[in-house]
């Protein structure tokens, strides 16, 4: 499984450390909240809302350089729109990897 990284953030910042720090701080603040809302919606079988949550989380996945994981998330989002949880386990592994990564930076 691919690992989250800061390559895209570093590229985007053009070496501006303050910008990098600010973007990382925003991700670290928003991600846990978005993940919690997603988990609650999945638990309650609120498929439409969960699909919207996954859509928002895909942006974090992309920013953290997870190209293959983005595709997994995209597929899971589409499944949720069809009231299917297919792909849930793989998506939640991605979320755990991100959670673990954010705890180290």
Residue 25 lies in a domain: yes
Map tokens 């570093």 to a residue.
10
Residue 73 lies in a domain: yes
Which of 16, 1, 76 lies closest to 64, judged by CA? 1
Q: Which two tokens stand for residue 79?
A: 């499944």
Range of the domain at 40: 7-104
Here the CATH number for the domain that contains residue 73 is: 1.20.120
Interval 30-48: pLDDT, tens? 999 999 999 999 999 999 9
Regions in the chain scoring below 50 on pLDDT: none
Residue 53 lies in a domain: yes
For the question of whether the overall pTM of this predicted structure is more than 0.85, the answer is: yes
Residue 2 lies in a domain: no
Q: What is the mean pLDDT of the chain?
A: 97
Q: How far is CA 58 from CA 16, 17, 73, 75, 76, in A?
A: 24, 24, 6, 11, 11
CA distance 45 to 66: 26
Residue 1 lies in a domain: no
CA distance 100 to 84: 27
pLDDT at 49: 98
Domains contained in the chain, number: 1
């Amino acid at each position: 499984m691919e690992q989250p990284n800061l390559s895209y953030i570093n590229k985007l910042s053009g070496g501006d450390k303050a910008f990098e720090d600010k973007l990382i701080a925003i991700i670290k603040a928003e991600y846990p909240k978005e993940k919690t809302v997603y988990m609650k919606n999945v638990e309650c079988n609120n498929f439409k809302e969960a699909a919207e949550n996954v859509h928002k989380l895909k942006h974090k996945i992309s920013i953290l350089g997870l190209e293959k994981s983005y595709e997994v998330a995209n597929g899971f989002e589409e499944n949720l729109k069809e009231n299917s949880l297919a792909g849930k386990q793989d998506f939640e592994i991605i979320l755990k990897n991100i959670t673990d990564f954010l705890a180290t930076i």
